Amino acid sequence: MRKRNPDTMSRIVAFADEFRLAHRRSPSTTEIADAVGVSRSTAYHYLVEMNEKGLIRYDGEKIETPCAGKERSDMTRAPILGSISCGAPLLEEENIESYVSLPTAVFGRGRFFLVRANGDSMTGAGIDDGDLIVVRQQEEALEGEVVVALIDDGTTTLKRFYKDRERRMVRLHPENPALEDIYVENCRIQGVAVKVLKDIAAVQAEDDAGDAAVQAEDAAAGMAKEGRTDPEEFSGRQ
């Protein structure tokens, strides 16, 4: 049997992983042959030998690499809806912006939708303006859970859910001490928040701004302690 090139085998595995990530399916033998620069028959023989050596799994049609074997292919399709208020409830139309696929290994099974936070009333729960919230669609919630609630006036809001038994009302609690609770006689639970998806760049910018403010305060405190008022006195000016 002709000896196969180990580098070509590695390239086949790498291409199969990249192709699956981009297209969510296994590449064909022809696609592999084109990618690594060999004939279709040669690519086939490589796949057979790699299967025999345990480098991949190949059934004559589909290829499964070690990386792909660790993946769970189960996905749940979920719509991204319009922004939802995290301040005072706003009249909202549930316009579907797009669809995304959520892995069941992370989110579990069920029906989900995503909404974009609008406002600052839930910052104490780690939900900032512009964040995407993954919501499990359900009509009931436990006290203390963050819910998407449709209230009596037809507005939709994202708040923490409680029952006020003395008032016999529902209390929708914002995670912001500057805002007051919302009391309603009844509300319709549309879902329970399960995950928050953040823009890492925005989080980093916020952290950097906070660090800069702390450094400025420390510098000012140091100047006051030394009886100095000119920042240039700290820059080595002679």
Annotated catalytic residue within 3, 73, 98, 159: 159
Annotated catalytic residue within 3, 85, 121, 235: 121
Give Dmax (Cα) for the chain: 85
163 flagged as catalytic: no
195 flagged as catalytic: no
Helix and strand tally (H, E) in the chain?
A: 6, 11
Alpha-carbon distance of 141 to 138, in angstroms, equals 8
Cβ-proximal residues to 179 (8 Å cutoff; 6+ apart), any chain: 87, 121
E strand residue ranges, 176-223: 182-184, 187-197
Backbone angles phi, psi at 101, to 5 degrees: -105, 125
Alpha-carbon distance of 35 to 48, in angstroms, equals 17
Catalytic machinery residues: 121, 159
